[in-house]
Amino acid sequence: MSQAFDVVVIGGGPGGYIAAIRAAQLGFKVACIDEWKNAAGGPAPGGTCTNVGCIPSKALLQSSEHFEHANKHFADHGISATNVKIDIAKMIGRKDTVVKQNNDGILYLFKKNKVTFFHGRGSFVKAVEAGYEIQVAGAKEEVITGQQIIVATGSNARALPGVPFDEETVLSNDGALRLGAVPKKLVLIGSGVIGLEMGSVWRRLGSEVTVLEGLPTFLGAVDEQIAKEAKKAFDKQGLKIELGVKVGEVKTGKKGVNVAYTNAKGEAQSLDADKLVISIGRVPNTIGLNAEAVGLQLDERGAIVVDAECRTSLKGVWAVGDVVRGPMLAHKAEEEGVAVAERIAGQHGHVNFNTVPWVIYTSPEIAWVGETEQQLKARDAKYKAGTFPFLANGRARALGDTTGMVKFLADAATDEILGVHIVGPMASELISEAVVAMEFKASAEDIARICHAHPSLSEATKEAALAVDKRTLNF
């Protein structure tokens, strides 16, 4: 007799494991199936985010930032650090420890919440009266049933056509996060989030980095003023970003890789490098799910088709996270996972796509929520803008990090905040205040009238809100 569950979650990334925990909290009997293996072949729940995404990239960004500070900025504080060296194996080992702590943490949370964890691949067998039969193929094979199924199978890196990843010379995010040595020359294709974050890591550690971007504009989804400011900072750091290129033939050999491309002027170019990272986006993953067995509908991109509340084409089957439409972000996946578990329980799950924040963890960090100025112009909105530079913020001066600004966009008539855009120190933390404000439909004046601790970077947020009404106090 197969084990029967109220809810079976396929995929244990941020969408899946959080959905499983929330469903268990709501009193359901829950199983979560995840196939990710650690180096020893054991379970490593947490998905892309924990294993080869958010967590390891931030660990390496931290290590490489320390290295850069020791080399370039300690002297400003009167600290001499000569002959600073980096032990790459140790840095990667630390990153792996951080990843393992997170994998173990999720296994602990499953136990704590009485979620039954299966290590293996989950696939649809057939619809039955009690829901769906799901095959689990792991160390042993078994079939379980779930009344409700949540699919959270995530995404995979998109390869350049005709250039498969070998993770030796042609790397996805996976290979880029576990290089054994600093490549002398590194080329990244795509100046999106991964291109900038991974490019920053290896540049700080000594690589000569070139990022080749197909589009003529830099970070098109980011507010133009903020993107311009960020680009200035990256140029100054020596991160070479070529826009408007057309990548041609990629040849790999014993000595590395050669990338042929046409630059924005239409001139033929070629670059030799030790390693090539392809960071041109990700594709939804339904490999091995046997979606066709039950007729689960996919769109032309391979994403599972869902409605605004994550219902698929099949009764009792839901899908969340990177495998469905919307931004491919861990916190978006988590919010959808919680909302689906609550909807299964008959509650009103809630995800506000207008207040999903974005963060790029470069230095300076870039963070935003809501609409950009170019989006407001495109829809002919009447708005007011206010900016405040970190140069005029006491805490930023004390930190020695005055690059960038906070920018507010508010409705011209009602003063409601429409978007907040930050480039500068700790933008990832500062953006939360804007998210809360927008969720509560605050006006710029609401933020301007709130007492902010002094000295803190958050005073730049208050001042930018004051700037909307042209009454900054410190600039």
Subset of 174-193 contacting ligand NAI (CB under 6 A): 189-193
Pick what 419 binds: ligand NAI, ligand FAD, none; C-beta below 5 to 8 Å, kind-dependent: none
Which residue in the list 69, 119, 421, 454 is annotated as catalytic?
454
Q: Are 213 and 227 in contact, with CB atoms under 8 Å apart?
A: no
> Is residue 452 among the annotated active site residues?
no
Taking the complex as a whole, how short is the minimal distance between the CB of residue 70 and ligand FAD, in angstroms? 24
Site for ligand NAI in 104-163 (CB under 6 A): none
Provide the β-strand partners of residue 359: 367
Binding range to ligand FAD, per CB under 6 A, among 66-74, 321-329, 343-351, 396-404: 321-329
- Contact between 197 and ligand NAI (CB under 6 A)? yes
Q: 91 is in the binding site of which of ligand FAD, ligand NAI, none (Cβ under 5 to 8 A by kind)?
A: none
| Residue 171 binding result from ligand NAI, ligand FAD, none, given CB thresholds of 5 to 8 Å by partner type | none
Describe the strand order of the beta sheet including 208-212 as a list of residue ranges.
170-171, 275-278, 185-189, 208-212, 240-242
- State the binding partner of 149 from ligand NAI, ligand FAD, none, CB within 5 to 8 A by kind: none
Is 155 a binding residue for ligand FAD by CB under 6 A? The answer is yes
The stretch near ligand FAD (CB under 6 A) out of 29-37, 309-317, 400-408, 435-443 is: 29-37
Site string for ligand NAI, 340-369 (x = CB under 6 A): -------------------xxx--------
Task: Tell me if 236 sits within 8 A of 252, measured CB to CB.
Answer: no
Distance in Å, CB of 129 to ligand FAD, minimum? 24
- Of 155 and 387, CB closest to ligand NAI: 155
- Binding piece for ligand FAD, criterion CB under 6 A, among 99-107, 293-301, 322-330, 450-458: 322-330
CB of 118: closest distance to ligand FAD in angstroms? Answer: 8
Question: Nearer Cβ to ligand FAD, position 173 or 461?
Answer: 173
Sheet holding 256-262, edge to edge: 246-253, 256-262, 268-273
Of these partners, ligand NAI, ligand FAD, none, which one is at the site of residue 285 (CB under 5 to 8 Å by kind)? ligand FAD
Cα gap 151→153, rounded to integer Å: 6
Given ligand FAD, ligand NAI, none, residue 321, with its beta carbon under 5 to 8 Å by kind, binds ligand FAD
Site string for ligand FAD, 67-106 (x = CB under 6 A): ----------------------------------------
Position 169, amino acid: T
Nearest approach, Cβ of residue 320 and ligand FAD (Å)? 7
Task: Please identify, using beta-carbon distances, which residue of 281 and 295 lies nearer to ligand NAI.
Answer: 281
Contacts of 182 (CB under 8 A, 6+ apart): 86, 88, 202, 205, 206, 207
Question: Taking CB under 6 A as the rule, does residue 312 contact ligand FAD?
Answer: no
Rounded to 5°, the CA angle 291-292-298 comes to: 65
Considering only 7, 30, 32, 54, the residue that binds ligand FAD (CB under 6 A) is 54
Q: Min. distance of Cβ 101 from ligand FAD in angstroms?
A: 17
Interaction with ligand NAI in 213-242: which residues (CB under 6 A)?
A: 213-215
Tell me which residues touch ligand NAI (CB under 6 A): 189-195, 197, 212-215, 247, 279-282, 327-329, 359-361
Catalytic residues: 454
Contacts with ligand FAD by CB under 6 A lie at 10-16, 33-36, 47-49, 53-54, 57, 121-123, 152-155, 173, 194, 285, 288-289, 321-323, 328-331, 333
